[in-house]
Structure 1
């Protein structure tokens, strides 16, 4: 049974799409509430035009674009400013999400997201709110102490620049760990709204594959939280159990207008939107 607390947690949810998902977004649009925040990735196989056109499509369809900026993928300051300028031109620069990105070796002058934020360039192109990363279950290649240091430093830098902040996390599977991590975040003076990354309904093999890639949980822990069997990897798994447990876990500790859900859709925008509607009882 879904409680009112669980429904409140998924209110004002956000979604993630790639630059190649524009047609999927058009198809899913009727199932997505007007104004929903939709993050647009910054992947190595996407170019500037694809990223900008995707962000523009998000806005034109009545949603709020939050394009990603991958610091280590940028080859120069000119490339950063060109991207920001194009986003501003199409009305999609107010909300951005700044992340270090996958390349271990920077392709240009920005070693990490903090270095990019510290340029002070974002506000010059109409940026009003910046999303930064959170890792409730850690990162497979970054020390936990470094993750905390960078979160606090990015928060302080953005505050000094007069920019709003939101923490968007890598997806998680352990509700108790997420609750503890939120406490740890607040204890460090980070008062920004938090969006907990959650896999939308996805094929079980794909779900486990992404978890292994990002070092999140173990197969056994995911099975326990999601309720499927490792001997039967056919079909899909949804986050029903995880979100119900998370809502119950954080209910007593945090106002839920400060904690919301961000869905990693794996390309399944419509399936995720329909799942949210069903979870919320909106037939």
Structure 2
């Protein structure tokens, strides 16, 4: 093997590792799209089912059950502040386990400024002990590489460490799922920072699936993600192409090539399809095939 070949292979291998580990996100309304996309998705893939306002719990439970029937791993979201009572959470967990054999969930504080019930945030749900009581063995928690528009850095840092400590005390495994971004550099910096703080769990870095640039910007603005012209350029988007579409190729490749396991720890990808589940699954399948073929 020549030095040039070895250098090229070392650049490709991190991309292949990321391509072999990914998760997807869907809403309860995406069941038809999931059925269409299923042949493109690797068996056993984790698929998150979001907790959107205005949806009935039965719709989310049915979506999780379909995820399981199709051979994937359902990861329903739990929005702490949208729960009216502990009994509501218990009923939700019971139904998810009975109908979808759920043993993983993702817990987030949620949008309401005032909790509808006893749970102020994700940590309150974890500390309740209900997840462990119902046999949940893996919990996803949120991460914000570019910060949160309403929560300061120190508070975010403490919340992550507190959740890790509580989950460890209950012998529950966990992973961190991040908001999506356009620029890999803040992600790499944040990963190094949380590892230095003592956060050890796997991080699933949020990646926007291929979609229109207007859609990307709309979600970025809503989520508080930086979307300056320079960041868009790094993502491969020209400001003069705002009516076009974009895929995450540059972002994923740059992230993969910047990752250092000793510094950044265990990292995977989590795709936000933004209503284009089949298109995202197709992109991931083609990207993974290209990465695998390049290492043969």
**Range into which the TM-score falls when normalised by the shorter chain:** over 0.9
Q: Compute the displacement of 1:183 (Å).
A: 1.2
Seen in structure 2, the aligned counterparts of structure 1 residues 94 and 54 have a Cα distance that, compared at 3 Å, is same
Alignment map for 1:25-104 (pairs within 5 Å): 25-104=34-113
* Aligned counterpart for 1:228 among listed residues 201, 216, 237: 237
State yes or no: 1:270 paired with 2:278. Answer: yes
SS in 1 for 2:240: coil
SS in 1 for 2:175: strand
Match of 2:181 in 1: 172
Bigger radius of gyration, 1 or 2? Answer: 2
TM-score by length of 2: 0.91
CA deviations on 1:83-132 (whole Å, 9 max, x unpaired) are 01101112332110000111111111111111111101101112000000
Q: Quick one: distance in 2 between partners of 1:15 and 1:188?
A: 28
Preserved contact between residue 200 and residue 263 of structure 1 (Cα < 8 Å)? yes
* Aligned counterpart for 1:149 among listed residues 158, 179, 184: 158
Tell me how many residue pairs correspond in the alignment. Answer: 282
Q: Compute the displacement of 1:252 (Å).
A: 6.1
Alignment map for 1:102-251 (pairs within 5 Å): 102-251=111-260
Preserved contact between residue 195 and residue 263 of structure 2 (Cα < 8 Å)? no
TM-score by length of 1: 0.95
SS in 2 for 1:170: strand
* Aligned counterpart for 2:288 among listed residues 246, 269, 280: 280
Higher mean C-alpha deviation, range 113-122 or range 245-254: 245-254
Higher mean C-alpha deviation, range 218-227 or range 72-81: 218-227
Q: Quick one: distance in 1 between partners of 2:231 and 2:190?
A: 18
Match of 1:261 in 2: 269
Preserved contact between residue 191 and residue 264 of structure 2 (Cα < 8 Å)? no
> What is the Cα-based RMSD across aligned positions, in Å?
1.6
Stretches of structure 2 that go unaligned for 5 or more consecutive residues are: 1-7
